[in-house]
A and B are shown apart, each in its own frame.
Chain A
């Protein structure tokens, strides 16, 4: 493991069983994550982008060891998480937290904002008494809420404020690594920008490392250092953020970029548009060969037969792509 890598994932697989009948026999698998490997450097933000059902959320949760039955290795600061005992993992979780997509569903409606933010401090035994109160107030200020709001319940807050509560809760235990699972997609456009800026500020102040999950390449653009694009359980392209926007190579990445409209009709009309056919296929029966081939506008015969490997284009370029057609 390289020194500057905080997280390393190697050949990660996560299949969810599909059962049928009274005996609940396993008849098929949802291949949510199907053999992916990547690393995240310390202090870096990796954007993970893909459409619904591509396995991006599952990947984030696999890193946090929230599932049973996954295969592959996940290393955090050199420690292999898959081999840890339950109690060891519980202590390890302090270092890694999760911010959820839906700020309406992820906060307990019966707890006050102060209790929600303070709960992790209690669970991990980090503070009590006066110190506890001070820390909760500090967390409120950190996410730009007022400490006097601690006695309010989630329903008294707007969507953007609730997302701030979710962020404060994740940061309460002073983690090193945070999985941000679509933290802005449920919010209004003007509020999205506020939350992205807040997350950037907190990352720089606290030295956090993020895995930032989104379904839209424009959202991760500002915050990410590197970007990985997923399709049906596999990574199709991963490289530096500047590179992926300036020089996308995988046909799916190119299509995703062209699908994002630019809020200026003059510019937008001059862009080349690639409109993909059809929907994402079911991850229970992924197509043979390259998973993207039925929707791909560049596919040839080999794409239907052989699954392409993720390869680095020129050694040291850090631009990895999984496509037979890219030379």
Chain B
């Protein structure tokens, strides 16, 4: 995975703020998020439910339902263009074409009343201007690429005739149909079986290496992304709490939340009877966020200062940033 030559920044998210206005009040789902993805790079966006990881991805494609959601600030620079300033017409050319997305639930994201051919060919005809016959051939090629056997017959089948793993492959084929520069995979493996998870991640990684596509993988499981991403961004309550190159983050995590997440994943290579460590408490309710650092009620290292102000994201190593006041030496000792 290090063999890819990393190029310029394909996507740069700057100080993104996406809020939802509901009966419960203002929910800051994403609150000042910044990161970038370089060409051919794969970036992981990790966090628990409601940390804002999916909302930030939907913001990139401007798919936030309005009302109640609205992008209140920030910039999303895609190849030099600020997507937040693009017209709806321009966005239509970008969605599914230059930025593609794989959704979490293949069963609900595929149209049940259209055949697979119709669904994939739609994008080919729309974005790549192909004729019907040409689109069909391309469709078969794509399905073969993602490992669907008997593709020339299977294109005439409906989604329900495929298993969950096969449906997720169709989603991947669809996402790749227009050679996107950026692929966003939102929990691509949560609804499929363990052995199929491995197959899907291999397919995505293989395509990234072959075509130099940039990839954002969104997940709540730090184990899943370890092998497949170059950099990990850890999110909590709408903000980035730590970001580092993958190896650095796993071997030297320096935010108490990252440390907790890593310790609560059951590991096959640890001593069996060693009990799991847990992060106490629950993810916060966005409508009633704690003051200061949102993680402080669950944090073992919380100090009075943490309740008062939000720690800024500060550089602590080569490409390694974190937002925490706790002393680094204390955190390292605890591991």
A contact set with B: CB distance below 8 Å: 51-52, 158-161, 188-194, 196-197, 200, 215-219, 221-222, 241-242, 245, 255-269, 273, 275-276, 278-280
Contact = CB atoms under 8 A, between A and B. Distances in A.
Contacts of B246: 265
Which of A193, A255, A269 has most B Cβ within 10 Å? A193
A267 to B, nearest CB: 6
Residue of B195, B251, B272 with most chain A CB atoms under a 10 A cut-off: B195
Contacts of A197: 275-276, 278
Given A197-B275, A265-B227, A259 B198 contact: yes
A51 B195 contact: yes
Contacts of B199: 275-276
A192 B264 contact: yes
Interface string B20-56: 0000000000000000000000000000110000000
A197 B280 CA distance: 12
B284 to A, nearest CB: 10
Contacts of B269: 262, 264, 267
Contacts of B266: 192-193, 196, 218-219, 221-222
B48 A188 contact: yes
Interface stretch (B8-16, B175-183, B218-226): B218-226
Contacts of B279: 190, 193
Nearest to B232: A265
9 contacts: A51-B193, A192-B264, A193-B265, A197-B276, A200-B275, A218-B267, A261-B226, A275-B198, A275-B199
B139 interface: no
Interface of B: 48-49, 149, 163-166, 193-199, 202, 220-224, 226-227, 246-247, 250-251, 260-262, 264-269, 272-280, 282-283
A265 B278 contact: no
A222 B272 contact: yes
A196 B277 CA distance: 11
Contacts of B49: 159, 188
Nearest to A281: B163
Contact of B272 (A221, A264, A267): A221
Say whether chain B's binding surface is mostly helix, strand, loop, or mixed: loop
B251 A264 contact: yes
A255 B269 CA distance: 16
Contacts of A161: 282
B268 A279 contact: no
B195 A276 contact: yes
Contacts of B272: 221-222, 241-242, 245
A276 B149 CA distance: 14
Contacts of A196: 266, 276
Contact of B227 (A189, A215, A269): A269
Identify the 8 closest CB pairs spanning chains A and B, nearest first. Answer: A193-B264, A51-B193, A263-B223, A193-B276, A188-B48, A190-B279, A261-B223, A218-B266
Contacts of B274: 222
Given A261-B223, A262-B226, A52 B282 contact: no
A276 to B, nearest CB: 5
Given A215-B194, A256-B194, A189 B48 contact: yes
Contact of B220 (A188, A245, A264): A188
Contacts of A255: 195
B265 A263 contact: yes
B223 A266 contact: no
A261 B278 contact: no
A221 B48 contact: no
A266 B247 contact: yes
A117 B326 CA distance: 41
A190 B260 contact: yes
Given A52-B164, A190-B260, A273-B198, 8 more contacts: A51-B193, A159-B49, A188-B220, A192-B266, A256-B195, A262-B223, A262-B268, A275-B195
B227 A266 contact: no
Given A197-B278, A268-B227, A189 B222 contact: yes
